[in-house]
Structure 1
Amino acid sequence: MSLYALCEAIEATALSAAIRESLWLFPVIEAVHLVGLAILGGSLFVVDLRLMGAGLTRQSIAEVEQGARAWFLGALTLMLTTGVLLGISEAVKLYDRPAFFLKMITLTLGLLLAFTARRALIARNPRGGAFSFAVGALSTCLWLTTAVAGRWIGFS
């Protein structure tokens, strides 16, 4: 089965049709997705700023990350759930959108960085340094690209 055929099959499901055909369902799911984006962005940015030596400098990076972790995980769960619902409602449209594929690539890289290198760095070096700055800057760039690419899907 080709990727395009899979997109057509996903879009033919009852759930996809219900979201697509409802007057309010898609906008409500999208609004919740955007609230999740704001929470996710805030929880990531506060830690990335601390990694880069700015913001909440009286606390260790580990303390800032620990305080933001529940917000990050909750927002990530919310965004993944609503993102899947939005995606299945217009799977064929997304198939032709380079912005969607850019979003998926940077989302994957951002998640890998957040759950591996960034977490290991924070555990080993709670006060920061040049490498911490680079990881914070890379994380910020990946997540901003994910958000901008997601917004660009609607314009492409």
Structure 2
Amino acid sequence: MSLYDLCEAIEATAVSAALRESLWLFPVIESVHLVGLAILGGSLLMVDLRLMGAGLNRQSIAAVEHGARRWFLGALLLMLVTGSLLGISEAVKLYDRPAFFVKMIALATALVLTFTVRRALIARNSSGGPAAFAIGAASLSTWLLVAVAGRWIGFS
């Protein structure tokens, strides 16, 4: 079975049909997805700007990350669920969109960076420095690519 065949099979499910045929369901899910994006973006900005030395300098990096963690994880879960539902509703369309594949690669990269390199740096570094700045900038850039590629899907 090819990836295209899998996309067709996903679109043939009752859930996909219900999402596509409902007048209000897709827009509501997309709106919730965007709320998740705002929360995720805010929590990322707080931590990554602190890593870069650009905010909340009176608190350690670990303290800022600890305060933002619940918001980040909740928003990430919300976005993964709503994004999956949005993807199920138009799987064949997404198959033909290069921006979707850019988004998925950027998302995988951002998740690995966030949960490995960034987390390890925060666990051992409370003051910042060049490595913290570089990781914060890389994190912000990668997550921004996820968001821009997501928006680009509608135009490609």
* TM-score interval, smaller chain: over 0.9
TM-score normalised by the chain length of structure 2: 0.99
1:77-88 equivalences under 5 Å are 77-88=77-88
Cα distance in 1 between the residues matched to 2:121 and 2:19: 41
Cα drift, residue 153 of structure 1:
0.3
Q: SS of the counterpart of 1:128?
A: coil
Is residue 66 of structure 2 the alignment partner of residue 66 of structure 1? yes
1:44 aligns with 2:51: no
Shift of 1:80: 0.1
1:144 maps to: 144
* Residue correspondences, number: 156
Provide the alpha-carbon RMSD of the alignment.
0.4
- For residue 22 of structure 1, what is the aligned residue in structure 2? 22
- Displacement, 1:126? 1.2
Query: Unpaired runs of 5+ in structure 1?
Result: none
Equivalent position of 1:90 in the other structure: 90
- Alpha-carbon shift at residue 60 of structure 1 (Å): 0.4
Residues 3-59 of structure 1: CA deviation (Å, up to 9, x unaligned)? 000000000000000000000000000000000000000001110000000110000
Within 1, Cα distance between the matches of 2:126 and 2:13?
48
Q: Which amino acid aligns with 1:124?
A: R
Q: TM-score, normalised by structure 1?
A: 0.99
Per-residue deviation, residues 64-116 of structure 1 (Å, max 9, x unmatched): 00000000000000000000000000000000101000000111110101100
Q: Which one-letter code corresponds to 1:90 in the other structure?
A: E
SS in 2 for 1:116: helix
Please list, as runs of the form range in 1=range in 2, the aligned pairs for 1:106-145 lying within 5 A after superposition. 106-145=106-145
